[in-house]
């Protein structure tokens, strides 16, 4: 009888996300609701040109910068300024030539240079089968395909026909981090998930295992507590995160994967195309479709005219004497393909209102925030796309999916939801943030999606704050 038994003490924040998909699935068209119009309501906040981040005119501050906000929302579900980002010279694209968001580790430094090591053993600490020693700008830093990577020898050690169930245990889960544990095997009756901690145990039949992927949500969780040059296997492995698998009949350890870090002091400007909230190059999405992104190039570092975290903290919060707010609703029209679309080259929702136009034809200096819920449906082609010539960010499940920081020439980004680590049938929140910070005749605002979005009750607003 096939089975999965999971036991967890849920003691600390997780280091990893596990996903064991059941292999490629056929995509089907997503059936949207019959409504021809989808209304999204958000909050507009008006600023004056005296604010240091608004009314910008410097050409040096203009351009497309990624990484000016962090890869996850802050505790109050607002973006967090990082202090600097990198200018995009050529755009990152997926294999279908959709422009996508590059994952910039400047926004989440993780391991600040040095080497990232993976060891595989079949006897505790003595019989090393494989050693990988790499800089932390390779895909293995954030995504390890244990069952699919031939170098990790999982099938060689535990191949088809293995006679007994295995017990998988986590050890040395420490140093912070964040994420969830997800585990699934063919015929096992569903998904088991929770928060990982030292002592987490899962028992499973290895013949039901299709894939095992380890996604390191926070690289800082792997930071060595033995700084300096490599300490050698003995000390570094004591500081490592590891997973061990034991034969439930013989109780012998048959497979171990160890992950640790050598701090060499190098500074590595690394990226993974599309990997911030998605899947690194060379991997597959949740439907088993291979990902073959086309890498772009970065230019200089810059602040994109964000003064500091304090001034940025006022963009999407009500601050008496600094901004004024009101609600605004946009209407997305459904086309014949089921895609909801809203596009205007003149997005000035508060002309002659709140703080006024300050002598200009339009009220140019404002931000706009929308929060909406949706249900994720696996392999149905759900996507979100936004195009603008001003700052825009979008987050799903608090993870950055659209990064159009800076005042820029018109640019768009696209995110297929099957690239995200979402659970089919569950409800998630997408949070969208937009800013228009210069005096211009054009304010491009183009949102496209086939996701059914629903905005909840928007807080009451006044001329001062909501």
pLDDT tens column, 433-443: 999 999 999 99
Residues 6 or more apart whose CB falls under 8 angstroms from that of 417 comprise 376, 382, 383, 384, 396, 451
The yes-or-no verdict on residue 15 having pLDDT over 50 is no
The residue among 268, 285, 309 that closes a domain is 268
The pair phi, psi for residue 145, each rounded to 5°, is -95, 90
Q: For residues 184 and 340, what is the distance between their CA atoms, to the nearest angstrom?
A: 34
Give just the sign of the alpha carbon dihedral 253, 255, 259, 262: positive
Q: What is the pLDDT of residues 288-345, one digit of tens each?
A: 787 777 777 777 778 899 998 899 999 999 999 999 999 999 999 999 999 999 999 9
Domain annotation covers residue 283 = no
Q: What is residue 215's predicted lDDT score, i.e. its pLDDT?
A: 53
Encoded tokens for 87: 């200018």
Domain annotation covers residue 284 = no
Three-state secondary structure readout of 445-459:
EEEEECCCCEECCCC
Q: For residues 336 and 107, what is the distance between their CA atoms, to the nearest angstrom?
A: 39
pLDDT (average), residues 182-197: 48
Query: Which of 66, 131, 416, 61 lies closest to 271, judged by CA?
Result: 66
Q: For residues 375 and 212, what is the distance between their CA atoms, to the nearest angstrom?
A: 25
pLDDT (average), residues 20-26: 35
Same domain, 12 and 52: no
Same domain, 131 and 252: yes
Query: Which of 160, 38, 30, 64 lies closest to 402, judged by CA?
Result: 64
Helix (H) or strand (E) holding 309: helix 309-312
The upper half-sphere exposure of residue 458, i.e. CA atoms within 13 Å in the direction of its Cβ, equals 22
Percent of the residues in the chain that have a pLDDT greater than 70, as a whole number: 66
Pick the range with the lowest mean pLDDT from 136-145, 203-212, 367-376, 381-390: 136-145
CA distances from 135 to 118, 261, 282 (A): 12, 10, 17
Locus of tokens 């995009």: 88
Q: For residues 432 and 64, what is the distance between their CA atoms, to the nearest angstrom?
A: 18
Q: For residues 65 and 405, what is the distance between their CA atoms, to the nearest angstrom?
A: 5
Q: For residues 40 and 420, what is the distance between their CA atoms, to the nearest angstrom?
A: 23
At 462, the pLDDT band (50, 70, 90 cuts) reads: low
Q: Report the number of distinct structural domains present in the chain.
A: 2
Distance of CA 448 to the CA centre of its chain: 20
Three-state secondary structure readout of 113-136:
CCEEEEEEEEECCCEEEEEEEEEC
Domain annotation covers residue 348 = yes
The yes-or-no verdict on residue 464 having pLDDT over 60 is no
How many residues comprise the chain?
466
Domain annotation covers residue 324 = yes
Q: Tell me which residue range forms the domain holding 148.
A: 4-20+110-268
Of 303 and 187, the one with more pLDDT: 303
Same domain, 175 and 88: no
Domain annotation covers residue 401 = yes
Query: Which of 158, 187, 214, 212 lies closest to 21, judged by CA?
Result: 212
Q: What is the pLDDT of residues 31-55, one digit of tens each?
A: 444 579 999 999 999 999 999 999 9
The pair phi, psi for residue 388, each rounded to 5°, is -160, 170
Q: Is the pTM of this model over 0.85?
A: no
The residue among 250, 268, 286 that closes a domain is 268
Same domain, 46 and 154: no
Same domain, 300 and 220: no
Query: 3-state DSSP call for residue 59?
Result: helix
Q: What is the pLDDT of residues 204-229, one digit of tens each?
A: 888 877 656 655 544 444 544 443 33
Q: For residues 271 and 80, what is the distance between their CA atoms, to the nearest angstrom?
A: 20
Percent of the residues in the chain that have a pLDDT greater than 90, as a whole number: 36
Q: What is residue 295's predicted lDDT score, i.e. its pLDDT?
A: 73
Same domain, 119 and 76: no
Residues 6 or more apart whose CB falls under 8 angstroms from that of 106 comprise 67, 82, 84, 85, 86, 269, 301
Same domain, 302 and 376: yes
The pair phi, psi for residue 239, each rounded to 5°, is -95, 0
Same domain, 320 and 183: no
Q: What is residue 404's predicted lDDT score, i.e. its pLDDT?
A: 95
Q: For residues 15 and 242, what is the distance between their CA atoms, to the nearest angstrom?
A: 11
Domain annotation covers residue 286 = no
CA distances from 449 to 6, 60, 187, 214, 293 (A): 37, 33, 34, 30, 21
Q: For residues 207 and 194, what is the distance between their CA atoms, to the nearest angstrom?
A: 23
Q: What is the mean pLDDT of the chain?
A: 74
Domain annotation covers residue 242 = yes
Q: What is the pLDDT of residues 233-260, one digit of tens each?
A: 444 445 567 788 999 999 999 998 877 6
Same domain, 102 and 115: no
Beta strands at 253-262 and 192-194: parallel, antiparallel or unpaired: unpaired
Q: Do residues 327 and 23 touch, judged by C-beta distance below 8 A? A: no
Helix (H) or strand (E) holding 312: helix 309-312
The yes-or-no verdict on residue 419 having pLDDT over 70 is yes
Same domain, 72 and 123: no
Helix (H) or strand (E) holding 100: strand 99-100
Q: For residues 98 and 411, what is the distance between their CA atoms, to the nearest angstrom?
A: 11
Same domain, 180 and 84: no
The pair phi, psi for residue 233, each rounded to 5°, is -55, -40
Q: Do residues 394 and 402 touch, judged by C-beta distance below 8 A? A: yes
Same domain, 43 and 133: no
Q: Backbone dihedral region of 33: left (phi > 0), alpha (psi from -120 to 50 degrees) or beta? A: beta
Q: What is residue 216's predicted lDDT score, i.e. its pLDDT?
A: 53
The residue among 268, 286, 317 that closes a domain is 268
Q: For residues 371 and 182, what is the distance between their CA atoms, to the nearest angstrom?
A: 26
Domain annotation covers residue 277 = no
């Amino acid at each position: 009888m096939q089975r999965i038994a999971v036991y967890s003490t849920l003691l600390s924040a997780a280091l990893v996300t596990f996903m064991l998909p059941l292999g490629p699935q056929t995509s089907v068209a997503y059936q949207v609701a019959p409504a021809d119009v989808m209304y999204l309501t958000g909050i507009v906040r008006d600023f004056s040109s005296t604010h240091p981040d608004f009314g910008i005119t410097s050409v040096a501050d203009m351009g497309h910068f990624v990484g000016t906000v962090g890869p996850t929302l802050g505790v109050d579900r607002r973006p967090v300024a990082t202090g600097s980002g990198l200018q995009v010279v050529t755009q990152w694209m997926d294999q279908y030539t959709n422009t996508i968001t590059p994952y910039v580790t400047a926004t989440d430094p993780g391991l600040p240079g040095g080497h990232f090591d993976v060891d595989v053993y079949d006897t505790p600490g003595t019989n090393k089968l494989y050693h990988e020693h790499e800089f932390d700008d390779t895909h293995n830093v954030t995504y390890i395909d244990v069952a699919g990577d031939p170098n990790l020898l999982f099938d060689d050690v535990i191949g088809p026909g293995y006679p007994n169930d295995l017990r998988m245990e986590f050890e040395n889960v420490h140093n912070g981090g964040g994420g969830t544990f997800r585990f699934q095997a063919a015929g096992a009756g569903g998904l088991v998930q929770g928060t990982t901690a030292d002592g987490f145990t899962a028992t499973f039949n290895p013949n039901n295992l299709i894939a095992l992927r380890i996604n390191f949500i926070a690289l800082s969780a792997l930071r060595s507590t033995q700084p300096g040059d490599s300490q050698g296997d003995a000390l570094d492995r004591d500081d490592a995160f590891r997973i061990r698998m034991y034969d439930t009949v013989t109780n012998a350890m048959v497979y171990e994967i160890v992950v640790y870090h050598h701090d060499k002091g190098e500074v590595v400007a690394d990226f993974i195309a599309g990997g911030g909230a998605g899947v690194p190059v060379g991997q597959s999405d949740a439907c088993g479709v291979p990902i073959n992104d086309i890498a772009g190039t970065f230019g200089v570092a810059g602040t994109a005219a964000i003064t500091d975290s304090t001034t940025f903290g006022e963009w999407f919060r009500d601050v008496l004497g600094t901004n004024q707010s009101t609600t605004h609703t946009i209407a997305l029209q459904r086309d014949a393909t089921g895609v909801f679309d809203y596009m205007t080259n003149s997005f000035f929702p508060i002309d002659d209102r709140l703080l006024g136009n300050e002598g200009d034809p339009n009220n140019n200096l404002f931000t706009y925030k929308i929060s909406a819920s949706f249900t994720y449906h696996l392999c149905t082609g759900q996507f979100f796309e936004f195009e603008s010539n001003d700052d825009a960010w979008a987050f799903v499940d608090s993870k950055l999916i659209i990064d159009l920081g800076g005042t820029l020439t018109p640019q768009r980004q696209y995110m297929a939801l099957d690239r995200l680590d979402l659970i089919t049938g569950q409800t998630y929140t997408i949070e969208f943030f937009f800013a228009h910070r210069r005096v211009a005749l054009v304010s491009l605002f183009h949102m496209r999606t086939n996701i059914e979005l629903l905005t909840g009750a928007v807080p009451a607003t006044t001329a001062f704050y909501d």
